[in-house]
Structure 1
Amino acid sequence: MENEFDMDCRCYCGVHCVLKTSWTDENPGQIFLGCSNYRDGGGFNYFDWIDPPIPNRKKSTFLSLLRRDESSKVRPHRIENKWEFVEREMQMLRVDVDRLELERQSLEENLRTLEQKYKFIMYVLIAVVCYSVGRSIVS
C-alpha cells in the first residue's frame, strides 16, 4: 500500500483499530482502519481510510463485477483477478492518453508553423501588390 498508517491506532473507545475492507456501493473494496467492536454493536464507529478514493468509472466497473458474481458464491481470487484486469485496462488507457497528449502537442506545433508561414506569405503578397501598384502609378 502506498499510504502509511499507524498500526497502533485506537478507536475513541480505546480498542485497537483493525484493517477492514468496505463493501458498500459507495466505497467497494476500499481498505480502512476501523474499530474492532463496531460489528458487535459497540465501539464508536471510528474509521480512517487507507486507500485513496476510487474514481467513478473504476467504482462502477468494480461494482458490476461484484454484482455479476452475486448470483454464485463470491470468490475473492476471481474478484482480485478482475480487479487486476481493470488495473491493466486503466494502465493501457493512461498510455493512450499520454500518446494522444504528445500527438496534440505535435499538432499544435505544426499549427504554429503553418500560421508563421501564412503570415510570411501574406507579407510577401502585400509587398508584391504594393510594388506592382507603385510601378503602375509611376509608369
Structure 2
Amino acid sequence: MEKEFDGDCRCYYGVHCVLKTSWTDENPGRMFLGCPNYRDGGGCNYFDWIDPPISNRKKSTFFSLLRRNESSEVRQHRIENKLEFVEGEMHMLRADVDRLEVERQSLEENLRTL
C-alpha cells in the first residue's frame, strides 16, 4: 500500500514522503514514511517508522491468520474445481439420458410394429 502522506514530511530531496506498509517477516503490516522514488532506484533512502515495533506474539498471530486465510482460499479453489468437474459430469449424464430416451422410444416403436 502506498499513498501520499497528509503531513508535511519530506524526504532528503525535499519531495513529499509517501506512506507505505511493510510486508516483511520482521515487520508485517507496519507503516512507515519513505521517499516516493525509492523503487525507481533514484530515491534518497529516507525512511521513518510510523507504527511502533511489533511484538513477537502479534507477528505470530498475524502469520497464523495469514496462513488460515491462504488455506481457506486454497480450499475454496479446490471446491470450485470439484464443482466444475461435477457440472461437467452432470452435463455428460444428461446427454446420456437424452440419448437413452431416444433409443427407448425407438425400441418401443419397433416393439409396436412387431
TM-score by length of 2: 0.57
Output the CA distance in 2 between the equivalents of 1:10 and 1:102: 45
Q: 1:122 and 1:18, CA in 2 relative to 1: closer, same or farther beyond 3 A? A: closer
1:96 maps to what in 2? 75
User: Where do 1:12-27 residues align within 5 Å?
Assistant: 15-16=8-9
Where does the alignment leave 5 or more consecutive residues of structure 1 unmatched?
A: 20-28, 34-74
Determine whether 1:79 maps to 2:58. Answer: yes
Question: What is the aligned counterpart of 1:126 among 105, 109, 113?
Answer: 105
Q: Which SS does the other structure have where 1:10 is aligned? A: coil
* Pairwise CA distance, 1:5: 2.1
* Pairwise CA distance, 1:134: 2.5
Q: Which SS does the other structure have where 1:5 is aligned? A: strand
Output the CA distance in 2 between the equivalents of 1:4 and 1:97: 29
1:115 maps to what in 2? 94
Structure having the higher helix fraction is 1
Cα RMSD for the two superposed structures: 2.9
Q: Which amino acid aligns with 2:80?
A: E
Count of matched residue positions in the alignment of Structure 1 and Structure 2: 80
Q: 1:129 and 1:18, CA in 2 relative to 1: closer, same or farther beyond 3 A? A: closer
Determine whether 1:10 maps to 2:6. Answer: yes
Output the CA distance in 2 between the equivalents of 1:32 and 1:130: 81
Q: Which amino acid aligns with 2:74?
A: V
The C-alpha deviation readout for 1:66-98, integer Å capped at 9, x for no partner, is: xxxxxxxxx722111101100001111111111
